[in-house]
Amino acid sequence: MFANLIAEGSAVPPTLTPSEERIEQVRDKLRDQMRVVKDVFRAGEVAVLYDDFHAILDDLQVYVANPVKAQFDRGVDIFVTSTQSGRGDLTLADGDLSGRVCSVDVPTWTTRDLELIGRNGFDMLDASVDEGTITSVAERADGSPTEMHRLCLAAL
């Protein structure tokens, strides 16, 4: 049924319900990961990630980019993710950041790599989804791991 919805272009796949035991296992793993994050902050090893900077309205990007200078001056590592369209370039939002920013192009993910997200995630949740459906979802994600996660989450 999910494969039919994907083929028809529906944005709302049916819900898959993992077992209560599996949900608790995932919660325990997330708690462990949060402990690690807290330990990193306590140790002063801090980095800031601005994810999907390109998605911020052009008029607002300067307000986000401005504080980055102060963070650089404090020695904080700054990471910005954005599309390759150039809309997410911090130096366009604030010219004073020239020389402080270096861009790294990250290619889009292959369908095969995106399928691993679906396969591993659904396996972790004990959700039964056939390979054809996972492939269809991966193709629909169009090279974006974020979109693949969103589509898989919508299936739960």
Q: What is the pTM of this model?
A: 0.45
- 62-85 pLDDT, tens digit per residue, is 777 777 777 777 777 777 777 655
| Rounded-to-integer distance, Cα 82 and Cα 141, Å | 16
Write down the pLDDT at residue 72. Answer: 77
| Rounded-to-integer distance, Cα 77 and Cα 119, Å | 33
